[in-house]
Structure 1
């Protein structure tokens, strides 16, 4: 069952189409990755979901109810942007307590656990916090909420690698508790590590949605080869890309759906060593934009 569904959601600003017929859904207990570069339409889409923007057309559903007809749907969501603004004269602890009170959450042991885990000094005033510490306050508040859907837009901005790991652990914990997560991030390895499914948005349009394994057809796989024959002869093949040499090995990127043809062409060259490296989400993401540049 879906916790969130967007159907042909469109938003324009003058002549600029920020989101065009965006459609996807998030299942309950699912981590959904939402990726694309700046200006692709991620933040516009998220702002429509949280009610900060009204779609020009299309519909958004939370728990199968259109949000346009449910004034209380926001109680089921919590949202953390990439750049958090807090009340400067309040301490971190006071801000967290405020959000706990608005959500009716009273587990102070859990609050203390998260404060320690994210290494936050809760007694400092927010105006004295760095960007990373402001982010921690918002993340702690989000994980303390009883929301069914957690929405994170570039959530680890300003966090060091140790705190990023803490964030990842808490996302998995939230999922295990049955919550759903919408994770929008430029850190592709983060999405690859956490997400059950992903959507790629470009120029305001969703261009792919699915499990990472289902998107392998649009990427390339890396082969590391040592052979007796001249591997340079493979350069002319239309499905071979980024032919580079490293010490005694040759690195070759091959269209994933052309692996049989590549191996057939490689066989006469008497390969002595062959290693394959599976494609990553970053490869999938960049492939789209490379292809678009080639067409422009």
Structure 2
């Protein structure tokens, strides 16, 4: 069975793929003017956007987590909101509340910041689990239910949340529960910039903020068109089986106490479609799945008490040991 069978449609040729995804390339180039030296992190952020997922950025303070989220929001001509998560934040502060007007004697719904195309949740682990749970319905179903009324969220809808790993055990923070982590399609870490990129930041970020000069380079309509096309990217049966084998391996290895969920399987396939499209292909390769295995799976897993390895290391070992399908 061939793994490179393409879908039928107007974008069958490489030129067609490139033309359709031209807005994605413009977005990537725009974000790279703000976030330098992190092309793979930016590609995964774009992958999550086109796969209709949500992104968790976890790293130490000061490495550009919030800047990446802001830059992605600025590059697309869409609505962007920011929620600074704090211990006293309430669910209604996110989803919105119904306010009673005394003179008109009616309740009027005041939308919360979640009613935006891109929602930046800064330091999400500083809010209580009750407030964090306000995002569950939004992230999974693209809707908000308040006072018995369900309201749809506009597409595209993406939550980009940040958290500092060094704060997870300190007072005033609440680790994300498994149900919340499982709704994030991928988790990335920014990491420290290399010396040359950091040296360039001294010149570019101390005189002015590159974010202030970033103008939208793509419209909501263009992003939605790319999302629709990514859904049609072909995944061969052998590749689907490979994804399932990887996920199943996380459930059977003694190194993990909690394996990946069926939602993780779906997220990995959807992300692989978008990742392949950004690579100029309308079909998924096992290489796409391998590149995304750690970002998509690791944050959902719990290590067993008998192992001293991180979930990311365990996933990396499984990628190296699970047989890869070959072309036939």
Same fold (TM > 0.5): no
Give the TM-score of the pair, scaled to structure 2: 0.31
Larger helix proportion of the pair: 2
Higher relative contact order (CA 8 A, sep 6+): 2
Larger strand proportion of the pair: 1
Q: Which has the larger radius of gyration?
A: 1
